[in-house]
């Protein structure tokens, strides 16, 4: 079945045409280049990569293309002296009320998923945020620095308050101070680089500001302001409403592709993706958000698609109708998701191994956080 699928894939029309025209170029991963450029121009101490994802359900294709794929690339391409730390941020997850049993289950499944995408717990520290109390302690200390004016201007908070009619009764303090915890996450490990999707850029700018402000008040070099690495797949949009980003919480399950979706589910979701009735295939995110989102997904779905950019990709696909393009996109996505899903199905059964990984991650992350927290406590006079 798999072999037949590969043959079909290789034989598709545009691919044959592209091979004939010699138009295959290496897939250019912007983020890795960005990171390499930094490596080449600096003689600074070794790098520390940190990132996090909320364990609030099975990650979707937006999470994968916008973040998780980069986590693995960085792991596999970093020099041996780089530390990589990836967290399941369960304390962020409870800023919205969660069913306790479900959260417990999601934590386990999310850990299994991080291994299934290719994180190697021997190389990367993988841990549950709430296992490392240093995050919340630093958060409190930073809360005493954080400007409420700045926090009130954060997009995510403003989006929430926009619909609030009862004077903030339902809006919780944890949601307001969410970016302070995120700042503590990265700062407590002395992160130098933080790979995320575009929606997190503002939170990380806040983390940089708070680190610099803290250093100004308490002496330089206590905290390190990290670089944000925005993934080349900045923003993958919903399949049913391409004006909003693909998200775990959208009420329509057809709006997202999950990393556990079957081949058929992927085909069916992409087949029914909202597009438009303009002629031909063009990449115009403002005018044709649905088609452009499919091109983004296709472009970022791995080494299978090797064109310079989405405009070039649209040109390759020019002769095909939308139905055929959707089939191409579905095949590319299936090639990304299938091996992850298959690995996940095995890993998630192995409870003992998952417990061991979580335990080791906890110990390593606790040790990693000790130094900065000690420096901060001393700087503010707590000892
Ligand atoms: P979350 O699921 O909100 O914890 O997000 C985890 C990571 O996935 C973050 O780095 C986000 O920026 C990234 N991400 C989430 N949704 C998308 C999306 N639709 N497109 C690109 N990146 C995304
Ligand atoms: N706020 C991020 C999100 O919702 C998750 C997150 C928490 C994170 N702490 C982090 C991401 C630290 C990067 C670094 O996606």
Q: Could you give the domains of the chain? A: 31-235+351-380 (3.40.50.620), 237-346 (1.10.240.10)
Backbone angles phi, psi at 227, to 5 degrees: -85, 140
Query: What's the CA gap between 253 and 13, in Å, rounded?
Result: 31
Ligand 2 mean position, distance from CA 94 (Å): 13
Residue of 86, 113, 121 whose CA lies nearest to 346: 113
Is the model's pLDDT at 113 over the cut of 80? Answer: yes
- For the CA of 54, the nearest atom of ligand 1: 4
Going by C-alpha positions, the residue among 301, 259, 349, 304 that lies closest to residue 53 is 259
Distance CA 239, CA 289 (A): 10
Cα–Cα distance measured from residue 222 to residue 376, given in angstroms and rounded to the nearest whole number: 7
Average pLDDT over residues 37-46: 60
Nearest protein CA to atom 15 of ligand 2, as residue: 53
Q: Residue 315 CB: number of other CB atoms within 10 A?
A: 17
**269 part of the active site:** no
For 40-49, 78-87, 233-242, 311-320, which range has the lowest pLDDT when averaged over its residues? Answer: 40-49
Residue 26's pLDDT band, with cuts at 50, 70 and 90, is: very low
Q: Is the confidence at residue 183, as pLDDT, over 60?
A: yes
Go through 242-261 and write b for each residue having 16 or more CB atoms within 10 A of its CB, e for each that does not: beebbebebeeebbbbbbbb
Of ligand 1's listed atoms, the one at least distance from the Cα of 200 is 12
Kindly state if the Cβ of 200 falls inside 6 Å of ligand 2: yes
pLDDT band at 34 (very low <50, low <70, confident <90, very high): low
Mean pLDDT of the chain: 89
pLDDT digits (tens, 9 = 90+) for 71-107: 999 999 999 999 999 999 999 999 999 999 999 999 9
216 pLDDT higher than 70: yes
For residue 36, the model assigns a pLDDT of 56
Contact by Cβ (8 Å): 315, 321:
no
pLDDT, average across residues 52-78? 97
Instruction: Find the Cα–Cα–Cα–Cα dihedral 298, 259, 36, 75, rounded to 10°.
Output: -150
Task: Identify the residue whose tokens are 């364990």.
Answer: 55
- CA end-to-end distance (rounded Å), the chain: 64
67 C-beta closer than 6 A to ligand 1:
yes
pTM of the model: 0.90
The predicted pLDDT at position 7 comes to 28
Q: Which two tokens mark 153?
A: 């201007």
Starting at the earlier edge strand, list the strands of the sheet with 48-53.
Answer: 124-128, 83-88, 48-53, 193-196, 227-230
Q: Examine the pLDDT at 326 and tell me if it is beyond 70.
A: yes
The answer to whether 207 touches 226, Cβ cutoff 8 Å, is: yes
Measure the CA–CA gap between 45 and 329, rounded to whole angstroms.
42
Residues of the chain with pLDDT > 70, as a percent, come to: 87
Which residues sit opposite 245 in a β-bridge? 237
3 state DSSP class of 196: strand
Condensed to tens digits (0 to 9), the pLDDT of residues 252-276 reads 999 999 999 999 999 999 999 999 9
pLDDT value at 195 more than 90: yes
Torsion sign across C-alpha atoms 221, 198, 316, 269: positive
Structure tokens at 337: 């998701």
Q: What share of the chain is helix, strand, coil (3-state, %, to 5)?
A: 55, 10, 35
Contact between 92 and 181 (Cβ < 8 Å): yes
Per the listing, tokens 């004016």 go with 149
Average pLDDT over residues 188-212: 97
Q: Write down the pLDDT at residue 219.
A: 85
Task: Compute the distance between CA of residue 216 and CA of residue 68 in angstroms, rounded to an integer.
Answer: 34
- The single residue of 107, 160, 269, 364 carrying the catalytic annotation is 160
Question: Is 299 or 306 the better-scoring residue by pLDDT?
Answer: 299
Query: Is 182 close to ligand 1, i.e. is its CB under 6 Å away?
Result: no
How remote is the CA of residue 51 from the centroid of ligand 2, in Å? 6
Distances (CA, A) of 23 to 17, 180, 226, 308, 316: 9, 47, 38, 9, 9
Residue 324 scores a pLDDT above 80: yes
């Amino acid at each position: 079945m798999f072999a037949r699928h590969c043959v079909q894939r290789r034989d598709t029309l545009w691919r044959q045409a592209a091979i004939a025209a010699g138009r295959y170029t290496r897939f250019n991963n912007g983020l890795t280049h960005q990171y390499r450029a930094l490596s080449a121009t600096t003689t600074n101490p070794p790098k520390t990569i940190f990132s996090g994802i909320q364990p609030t359900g099975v990650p979707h294709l937006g999470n994968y293309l916008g973040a998780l794929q980069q986590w693995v690339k960085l792991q596999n391409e970093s020099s041996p002296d780089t530390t990589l730390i990836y967290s399941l941020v369960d304390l962020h997850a409870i800023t919205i009320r969660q069913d306790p049993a479900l959260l417990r289950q999601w934590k386990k499944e999310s850990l299994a998923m991080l291994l299934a995408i290719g994180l190697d717990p021997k190389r990367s520290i993988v841990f549950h945020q709430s296992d490392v109390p240093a995050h919340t302690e630093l958060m409190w200390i930073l809360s005493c620095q954080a400007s409420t004016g700045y926090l009130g201007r954060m997009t995510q908070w403003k989006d929430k308050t926009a619909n609030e009619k009862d004077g903030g009764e339902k809006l919780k303090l944890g949601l307001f101070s969410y970016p302070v915890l995120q700042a503590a996450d990265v700062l407590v490990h002395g992160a130098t680089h933080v790979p995320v999707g575009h929606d997190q850029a503002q939170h990380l700018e806040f983390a940089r500001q708070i680190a610099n402000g803290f250093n100004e008040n308490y002496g330089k070099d206590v905290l390190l302001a990290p670089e944000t690495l925005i993934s080349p797949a900045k923003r993958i949009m919903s399949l049913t409403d391409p004006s909003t980003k693909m998200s775990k919480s959208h009420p329509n399950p057809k709006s997202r592709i999950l990393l556990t979706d079957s081949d058929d589910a992927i085909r069916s979701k992409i087949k029914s993706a909202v597009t438009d009735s303009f002629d031909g295939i063009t990449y115009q995110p403002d005018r044709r958000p649905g088609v452009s989102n499919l091109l983004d997904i296709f472009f970022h779905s791995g080494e299978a698609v090797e064109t310079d950019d989405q405009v070039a990709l649209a040109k390759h696909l020019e002769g095909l109708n939308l139905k055929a393009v959707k089939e191409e996109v579905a095949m590319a996505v299936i090639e990304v998701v299938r091996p992850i899903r298959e690995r996940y199905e095995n890993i998630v059964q192995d409870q003992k191994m998952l417990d061991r990984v979580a335990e080791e991650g906890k110990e390593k992350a606790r040790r990693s956080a000790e130094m900065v927290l000690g420096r901060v406590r001393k700087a503010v006079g707590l000892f």
